[in-house]
Chains A and B, each alone.
Chain A
Amino acid sequence: MRIDGEWALFDDGVIRPIVFGEISAADGSWVKCPFLVDTGADRTVLTAAALGQLGLRPITSDDGISGLGGRAESVVVETQIRLSRENSSKVVFRGQYAAVTEVASLDTCVLGRDVTGLFAVMVDQARSVVCMLSQRHHYTIQVD
């Protein structure tokens, strides 16, 4: 399985790796969402804007999300994240995800290791590669 992403421009002028996906909303629709591929993030986190759009009822308050900016208030929602495969089919990741509750806490949904840990993740800015590999897809390191 190969899930491709790309490098995209953020508000601070920095190019960061993203994959495009959808999140399942309370009304059964799918809400499109770019996800930052953050190989250092322990878990996937949804933005407050996405949370509001999804209309999902939190199943619990969370232990909190912390970073250099301090602790952010968050909740846990049960939903599905859907990503596109190399063959244009889709793969769904069903589970419980954290979501921050304040808009200023997070500007882009983050794909963390609860999902990326299922893959070998390549984020190669020099070659403009953002790629998640599993199953029959794998990578090889070569020396010229």
Chain B
Amino acid sequence: MADSLNPIVMEEVTDLEEMAQARAQDERFERNFRWFQEHATEIFTRYRGKCIYIAGEELFVGDTPEEVIAQAKAAHPEDNGGFVHCIPKDKVAHIYAHRRRMGAV
């Protein structure tokens, strides 16, 4: 099974400096994500098939992830709470699964 072949190690973060930096990043991300969700319907409609990046509560649009990341980083170099998302060209249902190996019986 995939679970036993690829064990994931779970560890709690105890470094206070790391946690403080993470919380600051979380706050920036939360602002960006809230802005995105408030404008999501319009963004999904206008930019289907495009890649977007939200940083500084501002939308950046391009054809590739690299393009929008570069735009956003140039405009908001201080915002490490941005995120990239590529909007599917078509509205389709997505179902994901890992290909399984089958042994002989």
Contacts and interface: CB of A to CB of B under 8 A. Distances in A.
Contact of B84 (A50, A66, A96, A114): A50
A43 B8 CA distance: 11
Interface in A14-48: 20, 22, 29-34, 38, 40-43, 45, 47-48
A113 interface: yes
A75 interface: no
A134 B85 CA distance: 30
Contacts of B59: none
Contacts, number: 152
A91 B99 contact: no
Contact of B22 (A38, A43, A90, A107): A90
A104 B88 contact: yes
B56 interface: no
Interface in A80-125: 82, 84-85, 88-96, 98, 103-104, 106-108, 110, 112-115, 117-118
A103 B11 contact: no
Contact of B96 (A48, A65, A90, A103): A65
How many chain A residues sit at the interface, stated as a range, is: 35 or more
Contacts of B85: 49, 107-108
B33 interface: yes
Nearest to A16: B94
B96 A41 contact: yes
B29 A11 contact: no
B96 A110 contact: yes
Contacts of B61: none
Interface in B1-58: 2-3, 6-13, 18-19, 22-23, 25-26, 29-30, 33, 37, 40-41, 44, 48, 51
Interface of A: 8-13, 20, 22, 29-34, 38, 40-43, 45, 47-50, 52-53, 63-69, 71, 82, 84-85, 88-96, 98, 103-104, 106-108, 110, 112-115, 117-118
